[in-house]
């Protein structure tokens, strides 16, 4: 990959006709060091958010040694990129063959579950191994998150005690985990969840070795400016400290978005303008899945050198495929004189952008370059995402 100072320099040097993914290793490294130095426990990176081997190695160099993997393919990829990492298979429903391969070939000893059936499956696949750390996932509310994760996984309160007792008998180390939902906008989400953990421990009367507060740690987007990350850490730690667990227990977390959102942005080209609709060369089946399917707004900026900056106007985007669903409503604020052939940088796409890309209609390829400037917003530098009314900029002469 070539290195450039910023997105405008990429456009000036390459005039790309395909989308271009921009990589900011320094941003991911900064986020990782923030977690490893400030979260008073173990940080696991949720590989699903962005499985790039280069990103995994960047996080490893920054001190992240544990990785949350959700499939055997993620196990293989993470082990290939990071031979010494501790991999934790935290998907609560797994194929028996996947458990067996993870245990026997890749050294995985940590698994999650939310049912007696999954516990039995893990024990069969590992031949009743005596060196397992098993995490019971409990169901908690997602009331404070932008994306709910409260319906699919997690043992219900009336199921938890018996499942914890059975897992305690089988595990070398017993953990409890949960997920408050993606992009949790208040630290209180974790207090509510940890109250459920407390109730589960008291009812089951078991010794717990690990408390894993899962993911949900936010990043910063237009209209979604969360409190400082330090507030999340302090709130979690106070609630954790009050749990009926031993002093030797460990606190874990599983950030995905919070570690990688600032890692990538995307350069797209305007292929057509129809009123306030811009046809661009990436979209719902590419890196903009969240913008299309859940209405997520990302910061945008016009990459144009020199000239007067025009007033801002609201736009929606259409992606390159034949599908009407390939539509991002926004609104995205750009100068009112956007024209065919212009380039736009879409920021904060490190989380789930590259991971959700498909090859539908033959689209989906993307060039890639390293840039050394700062992301459009950051939770780790004090650089805030602009307000919704002015969430974009026209890049002028440097």
For 160-214, what is each residue's pLDDT tens digit? 999 999 999 999 999 999 999 889 999 999 999 999 999 999 999 999 999 999 9
How much is the pLDDT for 142? 81
Task: Give every CB contact of residue 324 below 8 A, 6+ residues apart in sequence.
Answer: none
Confidence of residue 360 (pLDDT cuts 50, 70, 90): confident
**Least-confidence region, from 84-88, 122-126, 241-245:** 241-245
**Percentage of the residues of the chain whose pLDDT score is greater than 90:** 83
In this structure, the number of other CB atoms found within 10 A of the CB of residue 378 comes to 20
Q: What is the average pLDDT across 78-102?
A: 98
**Least-confidence region, from 145-154, 308-317, 325-334:** 145-154
Confidence of residue 395 (pLDDT cuts 50, 70, 90): very low
Q: For residue 249, what are its two tokens?
A: 């227990």
Q: How far is CA 178 from CA 5, 26, 191, 211, 216, in A?
A: 40, 30, 12, 9, 10
**25-260 is classed CATH 3.40.50.720:** no
With tokens 């169901």, the residue in question is 139
Residue 275 burial (10 A CB sphere; 0-12, 13-18, 19+): exposed
Q: What is the average pLDDT across 250-271?
A: 97
Confidence of residue 280 (pLDDT cuts 50, 70, 90): very high
How much is the pLDDT for 270? 98
How much is the pLDDT for 384? 59
How much is the pLDDT for 387? 44
DSSP 138-203: B----TTEEE--SSSS-B-HHHHHHHHHHHHHH-SEEEEE----EEE-STHHHHHHHHHHHHHHHH
Domain with CATH 2.40.37.10 in the chain: 3-23+261-395
Q: What is the average pLDDT across 367-384?
A: 89
What is the CA 137 to chain-centroid distance, rounded? Answer: 19
Q: How far is CA 294 from CA 129, 155, 237, 255, 326, in A?
A: 42, 27, 32, 21, 12
In this structure, the number of other CB atoms found within 10 A of the CB of residue 323 comes to 15
Confidence of residue 390 (pLDDT cuts 50, 70, 90): very low
Task: Look at residue 121 and tell me whether its pLDDT is greater than 50.
Answer: yes
Q: Most confidently modeled of 141-150, 215-224, 338-347?
A: 338-347
Q: What three-state secondary structure class fits 21?
A: strand
Element (H, E) at 241: helix 229-241
How much is the pLDDT for 311? 93
Q: What is the average pLDDT across 34-58?
A: 97
249 neighbors 214 (Cβ within 8 angstroms): no
How much is the pLDDT for 291? 92
pTM of structure: 0.92
Mean pLDDT rounded to a whole number for the chain: 92
Report the alpha-carbon distance of residue 370 to residue 6 in Å, rounded: 9
How much is the pLDDT for 398? 23
Q: What is the average pLDDT across 130-154?
A: 87
Output 148 or 215, whichever has higher pLDDT: 215
In this structure, the number of other CB atoms found within 10 A of the CB of residue 9 comes to 18
Q: How many CA atoms lie within 13 A of 366 on its CB side?
A: 28
Q: What is the average pLDDT across 297-315?
A: 88
Task: Look at residue 382 and tell me whether its pLDDT is greater than 90.
Answer: no
Q: What is the average pLDDT across 14-23?
A: 96
The CATH number given to 3-23+261-395 is: 2.40.37.10
Domain with CATH 3.20.20.10 in the chain: 25-260
């Amino acid at each position: 990959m070539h290195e450039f100072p910023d997105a405008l320099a990429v456009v000036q040097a390459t005039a790309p006709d395909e989308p271009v993914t921009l990589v900011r290793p320094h941003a991911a490294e900064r986020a990782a060091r923030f977690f490893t130095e400030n979260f008073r426990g173990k940080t696991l990176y949720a590989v699903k958010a962005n499985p790039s081997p280069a990103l995994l190695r960047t996080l490893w160099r920054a001190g992240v040694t544990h990785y949350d993997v959700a499939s055997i393919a993620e196990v293989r990829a993470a082990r290939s990129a990071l031979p010494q990492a501790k991999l934790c298979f935290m998907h609560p429903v797994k194929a028996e063959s996947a458990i067996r391969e993870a245990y026997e070939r890749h050294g995985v000893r940590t698994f999650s579950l939310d049912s007696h059936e999954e516990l039995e499956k893990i024990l069969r696949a590992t031949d009743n191994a005596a060196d397992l750390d098993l995490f019971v996932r409990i169901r908690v509310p997602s009331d404070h998150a932008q994306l709910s994760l409260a319906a699919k996984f997690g043992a219900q309160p009336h199921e938890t005690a018996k499942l914890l007792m059975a897992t305690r008998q089988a595990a070398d180390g017993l953990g409890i985990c949960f997920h408050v939902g993606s992009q949790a906008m208040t630290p209180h989400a974790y207090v509510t969840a940890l109250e459920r953990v407390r109730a589960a421990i008291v009812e089951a009367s078991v010794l717990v070795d690990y408390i894993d507060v899962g993911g949900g740690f936010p990043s910063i987007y237009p209209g979604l400016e969360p409190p400082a990350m330090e507030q999340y850490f302090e709130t979690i730690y106070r609630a954790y400290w009050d749990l009926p667990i031993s002093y030797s227990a460990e606190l874990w977390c599983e950030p995905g978005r919070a570690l990688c959102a600032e890692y990538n942005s995307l350069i797209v080209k305007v292929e057509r303008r129809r009123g306030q609709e811009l046809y661009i060369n990436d979209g719902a089946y590419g890196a903009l899945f969240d913008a299309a399917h859940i209405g997520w707004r990302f910061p945008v900026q016009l990459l144009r050198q020199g000239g007067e900056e025009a007033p801002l106007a609201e736009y929606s985007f259409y992606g390159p495929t034949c599908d009407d669903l390939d539509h991002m409503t926004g609104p995205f604020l750009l100068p009112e004189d956007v024209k065919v052939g212009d380039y736009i940088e879409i920021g904060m796409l490190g989380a789930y952008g590259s991971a959700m890309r498909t090859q539908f209609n033959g689209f989906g390829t993307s060039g890639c370059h390293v840039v050394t400037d700062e992301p459009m917003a950051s939770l780790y530098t004090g650089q805030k995402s602009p307000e919704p009314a002015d969430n974009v900029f026209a890049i002028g002469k440097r």
